[in-house]
Amino acid sequence: MIEIQYIFELFGTVVFAISGALAADERKKHDWFGIAFYAFITAVGGGTLRDIFLNSYPLVWINDMNVIFSVFIGVILAGVFFNYFSKLRKTFMFFDTLGIALFTIVGLEKAHSLGANDFISVLMGMFTAVFGGVLRDILINKTPTIFVQEIYATACIIGGIVYLILESFGIDRNSNFIISGAVIAIIRIITVKYNLSLPKF
């Protein structure tokens, strides 16, 4: 039986690929290969950095072709439904929020499974969630969201902490995954809706 964590990981890859494709196409100068490249970077960039930091090989997308297929599915969905997505002002934010919510917990669990302590596991969860988008934004010459909306990354850290707290209380893994991911999504949605941010340096 496929674990819910693995299903969420593949679903997160799809939604991150969609968000990457939609973000890249804002410049209106890319062909399908270019869009697929940006989608791939967005979907697997954070997880790749996480695995390199944790010395985990082979990299997840090299060892599991389902990850590559999920990126392709995301690109195709973004292309087929692009006009529909373009009419929705907050579509990109929606897919990006789903992506960081899912990937934060996936990254945290991966780090935990490799023996990382709680602090490093939370950081690895955040890296998994946000650094694919950072790499994508740098490539398309756009200021990464993590640098202009700090609660973007902070939401991931809070969600990771919630996961560890619930785990300490014996909450089963699948329920914990859903609850912690929901916390990240809710924080992100509220902060965007009310334009909230951390104090400036």
3-state secondary structure of 55: coil
DSSP output for 21-34: HHHHGGGS---HHH
Q: What is the pLDDT of residues 99-126, one digit of tens each?
A: 899 899 999 999 999 999 999 999 999 9
3-state helix, strand, coil in the chain (%, to 5): 80, 0, 20
The pLDDT of residue 166 is 97
Q: Give the separation between CA 181 and CA 39, rounded to whole angstroms.
A: 22
Of 62, 46, 18, 56, nearest in space to 104 by CA: 46
The pLDDT of residue 2 is 52
The pLDDT of residue 176 is 92
- Residue 155 near residue 149, CB atoms below 8 Å: no
> Which two structure tokens, joined as six digits, stand for 185?
């999504």
DSSP state of 58: S
- Residue 101 near residue 159, CB atoms below 8 Å: yes
> Which two structure tokens, joined as six digits, stand for 67?
């990850």
H helix runs in 25-86, sequence order: 32-53, 60-63, 65-80, 82-86
Q: Give the separation between CA 129 and CA 127, rounded to whole angstroms.
A: 5
3-state secondary structure of 88: coil
Residue ranges of the chain with per-residue pLDDT less than 70: 1-2, 4, 25-28, 87-90, 149-150
- Residue 29 near residue 116, CB atoms below 8 Å: no
The pLDDT of residue 88 is 66
Burial of 57 (0-12, 13-18, 19+ CB in 10 A): exposed
